[in-house]
Structure 1
Amino acid sequence: MPHRRLTCERIRIFRVTTHLPRAQRGTPGGGPGDRAGDLEADPERRVAARLAELRREHGLTLTALAEWTGISTAHLSRMEKGDRQPSIGSLIQLSRAYGISLSELIGDVRSREHHIVRGASAPVRQGQDGQYAIMSGLGPRSALEAVRLELTAGRPERTATHQGEEWVYVVGGQVVAVVGDDEITLDTGDALHFDAAAAHSLRAADGQATVLIVSAALPAVRPPHGPGTA
C-alpha cells in the first residue's frame, strides 16, 4: 500500500529557525595491538563486542533477544560479530530492551551531573544509517537520548519501533521520514515529533542530510534473564 502524504494525530511538525553547527566528521582509526587495544582503537568493533557482552550478561539467547526486540536473530548475530553495523533504530531498540542508555549500550558511561559534548570533537561512529555521534550521556538516570546522524541518499533504510517518543530536527539537507503509513518530507529547520511505537524510518531525500534525533524513553523495562547464550 503506498504511503499517504498525510499527518496523523500523533505526529506534529514544527518550523523552527534555530541553527545547529555542523560537526566535523571523523574516520575511526585502528592499528596493531592486543584485543583490548584493537577494540579501543576501533569504535565499531567495540560496539559489536559490547552488544555480545550485554546479551550474555542477561543470559539471553539470540532467539530470546530477537523475540524481545523484534530484531531478527541473523541481524543480531551479524551486529555482534561486527559483520553488520547497527542502525540508530536498532541501538535504541536494544537500549530500551536492556533498560539502559545509549551511552551504556556502547560502553561510554558518564556518571557526572552534567555531560558536555563538543560538536567538533564528538566521537563519530559508522552505523547502518550513516555516521553518527551520541550527543547525550548522563547514564541510567536519563530519560533522554540525543544522536546526530549523517544520512546519505541511497543507503538502505531500516524501520524501527520502540517505546517512548522521538523528536527529529533537520540540521541540513532534506529528509524523508516515514511514520506508520505517513511519508513526510522535512527541509532544513523542520522538526518532527512522533510516537516511537509506530514503525518509523529516515532517509536523505537527495545527497546528504544531517539530523538531530532526540528520543525520550518510557520507564525502563529490562528483559528477563533466560538460559543459554548462543
Structure 2
Amino acid sequence: MATEWMSAEEAEVAGERPRVGVEESLATVIAERVREMRLRHGWTVGRLADECGLSKSMLSKIENAQSSPSLGTLARLSEALSVPVTAFFRGLSEEQDVIHVKAGGGLVIHHRNSAHGQLYQSLGTMRAPHDYLEPMLVTLTERADAFPLYQHAGAELIFMISGKMEYCCGAGRYVLEAGDALQFVGEVAHGPGDLISLPIQFLAVKSLGARG
C-alpha cells in the first residue's frame, strides 16, 4: 500500500484525514520518537518548535500522531534534536505487524465499475511476506442493474453482517443473510446478484498467497 505524504502546511489546511495500516503505524512511531527525543533534551513543545522552525500547533499534531510529517519536516527535526532521520523510524517494524482499523476508518477503494450506493473499504494489508490477505468491507445501499463478476487467484471468504442478498459463484446462486459465510475459489467468476434486503454489508477476505 502506498503511503501518501503531506507537508506540514498541507496538513494544517487539510486537517486530520483517515489513515489505515502502514501510514497510521508510521505516524504513531514518529510521534513516539519525537516526543521521546524532545523529553531527552528536557525541552517543551514550544522550545522544540522554535528550534526547528515549526509552529507549536503543528508539532503538537505530529507528537499526537494526528499529522504525518514530510521528509523535509523530519530533516528539520533531526537537525534540531541532533539525531539522524532514521532515528524517527525505530520500532516501525514492530508497529507494522499489527493493523488496527477503527470503525469507519477503512480506506475507500474506487472500483472502475462501481456505482452510486456501493462503498468498498479496504481494512489494510500486512507488509511482505505476510501480505496474502485482502480484507474488504462492502456496503450496498442501492440496487443496481447488474454487478460485475470478479476473478482472482487464491480463495475468498464472504461473511454477511447485515441485509440479505443473492451471491453468484460460478453456476451457483446462494442466499446470504446476517451471520452467513461463503467460501470459494477466487478463479471462479463471483459477485453479488439480487439485492433482496437493503442496506447490505459484508466482509470479503481474499487469500492471495504471499506476494513479497
Q: TM-score when scaled to structure 2?
A: 0.48
Q: Which has the higher contact order (CA 8 A, sep 6+)?
A: 1
| Higher helix content, 1 or 2 | 2
Which is higher, the Rg of structure 1 or of structure 2?
A: 2
Q: TM-score when scaled to structure 1?
A: 0.45
